[in-house]
């Protein structure tokens, strides 16, 4: 290879390196521009809330509406301390009643109507009642009552409904025999 070819080859390499260097610089400038524009501005097109489709049994945490992620990081903790002894919820109280009282009540009905059930069928009855509880609680919560009386109103009516439903079931099934 002679000197002239070597010089031409080196000049071609130098020209290609300069083009690549310019291209890298333009890409870096575009990247900086994109980073600056995205960090300064959060754009949320459309939010759709479908709270009616949620089934929430327990809700904890903090909800910040209208706060951007940057503001959230700068925010102190504004949460309220949890109360140590909260009264049981209606659902908890009725579930406890289901576990403690209903099995013995079913046994009383079995003796009264002389209609004995096996454990599996007894559990199926209890499970069926449990499936219906959320709708029944919701139904009684719609009553137009003072808040301090609503809890008692709902629990007593749901408990009475369970007792009456079980009694009716045993009455109907004892007539079939």
Q: Where are the domains of the chain?
A: 90-176
Structure tokens at 154: 């709902």
Each residue's pLDDT tens digit in the chain (177 positions)?
Answer: 688 888 888 999 999 999 999 999 999 999 988 887 766 666 677 777 776 666 666 766 666 566 666 666 666 655 555 444 456 788 888 989 988 999 999 899 888 888 888 888 888 888 888 888 888 888 888 888 888 888 899 899 999 998 998 888 888 877 655
The pLDDT of residue 83 is: 45
The pLDDT of residue 169 is: 86
Does residue 163 sit in helix, strand or coil?
Answer: helix
Does residue 57 sit in helix, strand or coil?
Answer: coil
CA torsion 166-167-168-173 (nearest 10°) is 90
Contact at 8 Å (CB) between 105 and 82?
no
pTM over 0.85: no
Give me the phi and psi of 9, to 5 degrees please: -60, -45
In the numeric block, the tokens 């209606």 are attached to: 90
């Amino acid at each position: 290879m002679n000197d002239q070819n070597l010089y031409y080859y080196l000049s071609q390499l130098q020209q290609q390196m300069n083009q690549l260097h310019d291209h890298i610089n333009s890409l870096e400038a575009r990247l900086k521009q994109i980073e600056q524009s995205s960090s300064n501005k959060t754009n949320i097109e459309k939010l759709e809330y479908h709270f009616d489709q949620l089934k929430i049994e327990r809700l904890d945490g903090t909800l910040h509406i209208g706060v951007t992620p940057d503001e959230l990081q700068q925010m102190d903790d504004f949460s309220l301390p949890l109360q140590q002894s909260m009264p049981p919820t209606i659902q908890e109280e009725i579930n406890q009643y289901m576990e403690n009282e209903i099995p013995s009540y079913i046994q009383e009905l079995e003796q009264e109507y002389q209609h004995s059930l096996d454990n599996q069928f007894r559990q199926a009855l209890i499970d069926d009642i449990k499936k219906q509880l959320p709708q029944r609680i919701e139904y009684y919560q719609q009553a137009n009552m003072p808040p301090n009386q609503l809890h008692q109103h709902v629990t007593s009516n749901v408990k009475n409904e369970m007792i009456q439903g079980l009694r009716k079931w045993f009455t109907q099934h004892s007539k079939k025999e």
